[in-house]
């Protein structure tokens, strides 16, 4: 039956007209037959695209890049100190324990200035009869002479007859104003004895004992008598008190590095100390910058060495199998049971302090974790055809490891390697806190924290600011490691 007949008979449901052009064969275009719609990406190109989508990982990567750049380029902008002394290790008692500052006005002082001569009142009757302790009065007109500096604070008072001498007491701190009343009533109990003047005719004294330019000081002078029979010292019931701060000074040689026209008695604008200074007057921020070089170098060198050792050991164990594999794994288990930190301390004590001994101590037992992970992956890869083919073609063990095994474990290797970076920094800090880090005065983050921890009660910012930098860097390393794990694992493609 023809098409026209079917349409006339109504046996078909077609209502559209049909023509011969609708049944013309479609010819294939050979140029589009093998066309790849999706871009051809390598493993690392795909990982890079996926890493950029992880905002936390990108921020951490930029932060660590910034810290690294500061550590590399920062020392180029340090002031030149001369005398083969680096800026971060230069000592300056004028800047001890300073709080973070953007610079302050400093008085230029002479170097090597001797203390003022002791003043003696020649016409005072030193043989006058001694008074009773209750009759003793406080030395009158207690004053500060000259400018109080870290080189010395000179006290002067009016001497009196009938006494055996005077004792000077001192309290220090930023909040001593509220303690002055108690200090004046009970100086022998509240204050620190600075010196005892055994001559009643002496009426001056220069204190230079541990003066901290960041603190204020209050002094009390108390007259005393010594009982000639019992040799007992008895103090008077009252005292004179005076309070003073420290005039910030700078030596002429240091001032000339800041201002070539500086002169003694003039002032210069001091340097900026973003993190303050330590108890030796060293710039903590500069020491943290130099410490970045040390800690980041260790964070790169130590995991790389451990990775190479673990790759070779774990791959050999996995490829050999059998009794060799069992023996090599038992050796790792024995090493893992040993006290890791104790062995590092022993190695440091035997080899001495230094960068090389620190690297050896950190690498000695840190490779076992790499070996375990890689050995487990090698057991899986050795059953795949390309490894069997390489063996049949006579490939040597080094070729199997570095040409066949390692390239197929690159993602796992980078993830495990990055996860070890913060652990190295923490281990260095721990050894430095035990006094087993680098040799002083070398700077590292652990050394800075160890030195600052000793001043934590009186100057907490010395410890807190470096600790915040270290904690932020460790957190960035951990988050970056998680981002690399998500990026380099092909099984996670398309997630998140």
Q: What is the pLDDT of residues 67-122, one digit of tens each?
A: 999 999 988 888 776 666 787 877 776 677 777 877 777 777 776 666 777 888 88
**Cβ count within 10 A of residue 320:** 16
What pLDDT is recorded for position 496? Answer: 47
| Whether the model pTM is above 0.85 | no
Topology (CATH level 3) of domain 284-492? MetI-like fold (1.10.3720)
- Say what the pLDDT of residue 492 is: 54
List the domain boundaries for the chain. Answer: 133-250, 284-492
* Residue-level pLDDT at 1: 47
Please name the residue that has the structure tokens 């109080």. Answer: 148
Going by C-alpha positions, the residue among 426, 420, 306 that lies closest to residue 365 is 306
Q: Are strands 233-235 and 216-226 parallel, antiparallel or unpaired?
A: antiparallel
Task: Give how far the C-alpha of residue 285 lies from the chain's centroid of Cα atoms, to the nearest Å.
Answer: 9
3-class DSSP state of 5: helix
CATH for the 133-250 domain, from 3.40.50.720, 2.60.40.10, 3.20.20.140, 1.10.1040.10 = 2.60.40.10
Q: For residues 247 and 218, give the distance between their C-alpha atoms in angstroms, rounded to a whole number.
A: 15
Supply the pLDDT for residue 409.
Answer: 81
The parts of the chain modelled with pLDDT lower than 70 are 1-16, 28-38, 81-84, 93-94, 111-114, 174-179, 489-496
């Amino acid at each position: 039956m023809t098409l026209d007949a079917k349409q006339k008979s109504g046996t078909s449901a077609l209502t559209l007209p049909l023509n011969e052009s609708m049944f013309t064969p479609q010819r294939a275009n050979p140029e589009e037959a093998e066309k790849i719609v999706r871009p051809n990406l390598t493993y690392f190109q795909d990982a890079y695209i996926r890493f950029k989508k992880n905002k936390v990982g990108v921020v951490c990567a930029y932060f660590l890049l910034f810290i690294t750049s500061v550590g590399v380029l920062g020392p180029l902008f340090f002031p030149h100190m001369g005398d083969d002394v680096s800026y971060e290790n230069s000592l300056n008692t004028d800047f001890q324990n300073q709080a973070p500052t953007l610079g302050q006005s400093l008085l230029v002082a002479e170097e090597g200035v001797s203390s003022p001569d002791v003043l003696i009142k020649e016409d005072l009757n030193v043989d006058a009869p001694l008074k009773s302790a209750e009759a003793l009065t406080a030395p009158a007109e207690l004053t500060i002479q000259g400018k109080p500096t870290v080189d010395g604070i000179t006290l002067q008072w009016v001497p009196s007859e009938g006494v055996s001498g005077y004792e000077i007491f001192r309290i220090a701190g930023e909040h001593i104003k509220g303690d002055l009343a108690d200090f004046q009533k009970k100086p022998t109990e509240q204050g620190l004895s600075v010196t005892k003047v055994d001559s009643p005719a002496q009426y001056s004294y220069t204190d230079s004992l541990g003066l901290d330019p960041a603190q204020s000081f209050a002094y009390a002078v108390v007259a005393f008598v010594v009982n000639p029979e019992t040799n007992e010292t008895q103090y008077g019931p009252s005292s004179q008190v005076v309070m003073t701060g420290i005039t910030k000074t700078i030596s002429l040689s240091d001032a000339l590095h800041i201002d070539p026209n500086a002169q003694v008695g003039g002032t210069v604008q001091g340097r900026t100390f973003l993190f303050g200074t330590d108890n030796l007057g060293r710039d903590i921020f500069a020491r943290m910058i130099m410490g970045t070089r040390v800690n980041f170098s260790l964070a790169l060198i130590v995991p790389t060495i451990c990775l190479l050792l673990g790759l070779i050991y774990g791959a050999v164990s996995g490829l050999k199998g059998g009794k060799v594999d069992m023996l090599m794994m038992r050796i790792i288990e024995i090493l893992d049971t040993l006290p890791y930190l104790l062995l590092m301390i022993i190695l440091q004590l035997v080899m001495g302090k230094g960068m090389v001994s620190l690297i050896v101590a950190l690498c000695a037992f840190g490779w076992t974790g790499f070996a375990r992970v890689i050995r487990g992956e090698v057991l899986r890869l050795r059953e795949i055809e390309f490894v069997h083919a390489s063996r049949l073609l006579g490939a040597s063990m080094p070729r199997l490891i570095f040409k066949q095994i390692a390239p197929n474990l690159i993602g796992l290797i980078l993830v495990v390697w990055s996860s070890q970076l913060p652990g190295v920094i923490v281990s260095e800090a721990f050894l430095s806190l035990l006094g087993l880090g680098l040799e002083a005065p070398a700077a590292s983050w652990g050394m800075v924290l160890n030195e600052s921890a000793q001043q934590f009660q009186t100057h907490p910012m010395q410890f807190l600011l470096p600790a915040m930098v270290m904690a932020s860097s460790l957190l960035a390393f951990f988050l970056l490691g998680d981002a690399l794990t998500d990026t380099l694992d092909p099984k996670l493609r398309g997630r998140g």
